[in-house]
Amino acid sequence: MKSIKKITSVLLSCMLAGMALTACGGTAPTTAPAAEPAATAADAGSTESDKVYSIGICQLVEHEALDAATKGFKDALTEKLGDKVKFDEQNAQGESTNCSTICSGFVSNNCDLILANATPALQAAAAATNSVPVIGTSITDYATALSIDNWAGTTGTNITGTSDLAPIDQQEDMLLEMFPSVKQVGIIYCSSEANSKYQATKFEEALTADNIAFKEYSAADSNEIQSVTTTAVSECDVLYVPTDNTMASNAEIIKNVAVPAKIPVIAGEEGICKGCGVATLSISYYDIGHEAGLMAYDILVNGKKPGEMEIKYAPNVVKEYNPDICSELGITAPEGYVAMKTGE
């Protein structure tokens, strides 16, 4: 009898232990792992959709053209990404060394992409990283800026972007159209800006083809602009100022010398023309900035490689004249020129 009770007790203990094991999920592992991959995939999708892209913007200096390009870039990405993009916008105050510091900071802060607005900013970004995507804008010639030989339209590196180069030969045509009796053209630019020298050379080639004399006047920095312009107006009857950030930031200095001397200025871009010029072959800096933003989106979201993306140019150019300065100098713009808005 005791043996029977003992056996019964052992069996009962085993049954209770089995029930306890089942209640704690002892048999659940055969089905639980199957649900885990689905949860992980869902989590991954949620993380991707919540991605906020961090964009560093290095702008060389504050002036109308560069400001418009930055705005176009930000607008394009905001239109595409909404609140899934944030910008760290910094201005180098015209100093190349500041560009280097800013771009190095973007790399250290793990920005997803850098916008380099103007050539010194692009060169600083190129020196700071060869892996973070870099979009340039307001760059006249990428081959010159990045010292690339055998240029074929793409950089082959982590860099792409948009150019602000208006057709140089058409700018020279415009100068001759407005001033057909010109004897000597003075070309003023900042010697520290490689792309300004590039434009000056191209403009000189066009003048040479038309047998027009010219002379270069270069300023190392803003401190030399007044004296250089004073010399130029005493030796030339028309001045040409290419797209140049230093000149754009100091256009009023040029105006204060050239206008009293009755010497007209043909400008490489609208911002300079508003400050000191009579006419320009204009592009939209907002448009090239906006296009740069769309290119950035393709890199960030669609996985395009910067080095394989061709540099893009402004699709349209417009002949514009400055009605205020033309009036001061007694100049009538030829037919087909559009009056730019001034005094803004």
Q: Please give the average per-residue pLDDT across 205-224, as a whole number.
A: 97
Q: What token pair was written down for 290?
A: 């906006």
Q: Which of 36-50, 76-90, 206-220 has the lowest mean pLDDT?
A: 36-50
CB of 128 closer than 8 Å to CB of 106: yes
Q: How confident is the model at residue 26 (pLDDT cuts 50, 70, 90)?
A: very low
Find where tokens 């991605």 sit: 51
CB of 59 closer than 8 Å to CB of 70: yes
Say how far apart CA 261 and CA 328 lie, in whole Å: 11
Residue predicted with more confidence, 191 or 14: 191
Q: Please give the average per-residue pLDDT across 67-74, as a whole number.
A: 97
pLDDT in tens, 32-70: 333 334 444 334 443 456 899 999 999 999 988 999 999
Q: What is the pLDDT of residue 158?
A: 98
Q: Please give the average per-residue pLDDT across 170-195, as a whole number.
A: 96
CA atoms within 13 A on the CB side of 336: 9
Q: Which of 16-25, 95-104, 123-132, 234-243 has the lowest mean pLDDT?
A: 16-25
Query: In order of start, what are the domains of the chain with their CATH numbers?
Result: 51-164+284-313 (3.40.50.2300), 168-282+318-339 (3.40.50.2300)
Report CA dihedral (104, 109, 115, 119) to the nearest 10 degrees.
0
**What type of residue is 202?**
K
pTM above 0.75, yes or no: yes
